[in-house]
Amino acid sequence: MSSKLNAQVAELQDKQLYLDYLAHHDQLTKLPNRLLFLDRLTHAVDKAQRNCEQLAVLFMDLDRFKEINDSLGHFVGDQVLKIAAARLHECVRQEDTISRLGGDEFTIMIEDVHAAADAVVVAEKIIAAFQQPFVVEQHDFIVSCSIGISIYPQHGEQAEELLRNADAVMYQAKNLGRNNYQLASEEATGVAVAKQTQ
């Protein structure tokens, strides 16, 4: 193969890798997007099932984020999202998956948890981390968050179900005054799903 052809093939491979990256990552925060998160979660559920392990899904939403965008503009809002992503990285292990689903919604997958309490510890660390002020362009403010937690297999045996239940119970956390976490349960997810569909 000629060196020119080698260069063309390498360029095509680079472009393909870049397009693949774009398809699976959020451009603002560089975190995995919903597609990649669900793919990783599906594989993790299969592994947990084979090994009789548990895993946790945390669904997090920034409280009153729309007010920041509306009053300070989207540039400030984007910086808040980048800071939020960085803080999440500080609260989890390297092997855990953090994703931005869109808007101000983030998810975290924690594999090989021994009990729901392990996920609660992470949620508490995140809530504490978000009590530190966000400083963007001379603006200094607190951005709290609400978190819903679902555990495999108690709160779902499929990736979409775990994500849906964590999302539903996150609304329960918001309804209880924001800046807190709630652990999924049959009752909690039922109430939250009913509220979402009203």
Structure token digits, residue 102: 């869109």
Query: How does DSSP assign 96-109, residue by residue?
Result: SEEEEEETTEEEEE
Q: How far apart are CA 120 and CA 167, in angstroms?
A: 16
Using CB atoms within 10 A of its CB, is residue 72 exposed (0-12), middle (13-18) or buried (19+)?
Answer: middle
Spell 94-133 as b/e; 16+ CB within 10 A means b: eebbbbbbeebbbbbbbbebeebeebbebbeebbeebeee
104 counts as catalytic: yes
Catalytic, out of 26, 61, 63, 104: 104
Count of residues for the chain? 198
Which residues participate in catalysis according to the annotation?
Answer: 104
